[in-house]
Structure 1
Amino acid sequence: MAVTEQTRRPNASDEALVSSRLSRALVALVRITVALLWIQNLSWKRPPRFGNHSDPPDGLYQWTLNGVQHQVFAPWAWFVQHLVLPNFLLFAWLTFLIEGCLGAFLLVGLATRFWALVGVAQSMAITLSVLRTPNEWFWSYFLMIAAHLMLFAVAAGRAYGIDGVIRPLWRQRGGVLVKLLRAAS
């Protein structure tokens, strides 16, 4: 059967991959759970020193040291040793800000695809820093990456998130900014 304008669904490319109420609720549940994971993990990254100057080192500083002490990938260990550690407070505040935004934006479902990609990148950075740390369950880092890829793939913010509310408004408008916002949602 040939596809005609009458048989084609309108805006099919804009629809989320999930259509049942149960599927949307489960996608929203995973999105919110991942958001809460990021928010909860801010609690041990204690500003303003983030575990730096502790004896022994603790908090984010200790976990950053793990990227050098338990090397996973030599170029990453070099980056951590020569760029991150000498500028630790800058990187610590950036980490705190990025992970706080990850939690907040995923929680409300705004620009979810963009923040899911940020989550993949942040999870990769964490993985490259701690994968070989003794007594770490390495699957947790692969699961974090997989969860963020799923959030990206199903446009999770469209399921009971702000993306689902404002995306129809963006469909009515043109322009480069609107196209970027639609891609991020």
Structure 2
Amino acid sequence: MADASVDAVTLPRGGRGMLAFIRVAVALLWIQNAGWKTPGDDFGRMARRGLYLFTGYAVEHPVFPPFTWLVEHVVLPNFVVFGWLTLLVETSLGAFLLAGLATRLWALVGIAQTLAITFSVLYAPHEWHWSYFLMLLAHLALFATAAGRFHGADGLLRPSWKRSANPIARWLVRFS
């Protein structure tokens, strides 16, 4: 990743505010989405509802055969572990995007998570297909514009990361 991306100096104030608004809105979508994934009933496995039901759609209404095989033979047999990982990823997506920390990395994670959701439910009944494509576009925009640099932790911390020789700081520069 080159460091020649969007810079606060070249972007009008309204544009910076809009990028921050979009980043926060996407973060809140992930936080809300994580909110209905409750571990109390094994993430819906017992009653065949919730996360379990929607994950099962990948097998009932296949979109991408290799993904269907993975869900049927790996995910569903180990569903509680998958449920916890899903909850952790989606909560982290919301938290890191909300803070604007390592935004480019979390935009990539958001793209991957959105694709996984899309491959699970794209052909399921009563789904609005465009919502998944809009989420992909939103994450691509967050990645391309380095949206955490605008009213986010990336913008505050990036100058010190750039001056540091610490490998973690160098990594954060790349993903901020």
Deviation at 1:42, TM superposition (A): 1.5
User: TM-score scaled by structure 1?
Assistant: 0.89
The answer on whether the counterparts of 2:44 and 2:52 sit within 8 Å (CA) in structure 1 is yes
**2:44 corresponding residue in structure 1:** 51
Deviation at 1:171, TM superposition (A): 1.7
**Which consecutive residues of structure 2, in runs of 5 or more, have no partner in the other structure?**
none
**1:109 corresponding residue in structure 2:** 100
Q: Deviations over 1:31-68 (max 9, x none)?
A: 000000000011211113111111xx110000011010
- Separation (CA, whole Å) in 1 of partners of 2:94 and 2:39: 17
Percent of aligned positions with the same letter in both sequences? 53
- Separation (CA, whole Å) in 2 of partners of 1:156 and 1:89: 33
1:33 aligns with 2:25: yes
Q: Which runs of 4+ in 1 moved over 6 A?
A: none
Q: What amino acid sits opposite 2:104 in the alignment?
A: R
Structure with bigger helix share is 2
From 1, 4, 16, the counterpart of 1:24: 16
Deviates more, 1:149-158 or 1:166-175: 166-175
Q: What amino acid sits opposite 1:19 in the alignment?
A: L
**1:7 corresponding residue in structure 2:** none
1:90 aligns with 2:81: yes
Count how many residue pairs are aligned between Structure 1 and Structure 2.
172
Deviation at 1:174, TM superposition (A): 2.4
The answer on whether the counterparts of 2:43 and 2:83 sit within 8 Å (CA) in structure 1 is yes
- Separation (CA, whole Å) in 1 of partners of 2:20 and 2:96: 13
The answer on whether the counterparts of 2:63 and 2:119 sit within 8 Å (CA) in structure 1 is yes
**Which consecutive residues of structure 1, in runs of 5 or more, have no partner in the other structure?**
1-11
Q: Any idea what SS the aligned residue of 1:72 has?
A: coil
The answer on whether the counterparts of 2:55 and 2:120 sit within 8 Å (CA) in structure 1 is yes
The answer on whether the counterparts of 2:6 and 2:146 sit within 8 Å (CA) in structure 1 is no
The structure having more radius of gyration, on CA atoms, is 1
Deviation at 1:168, TM superposition (A): 0.7
Deviation at 1:153, TM superposition (A): 0.3
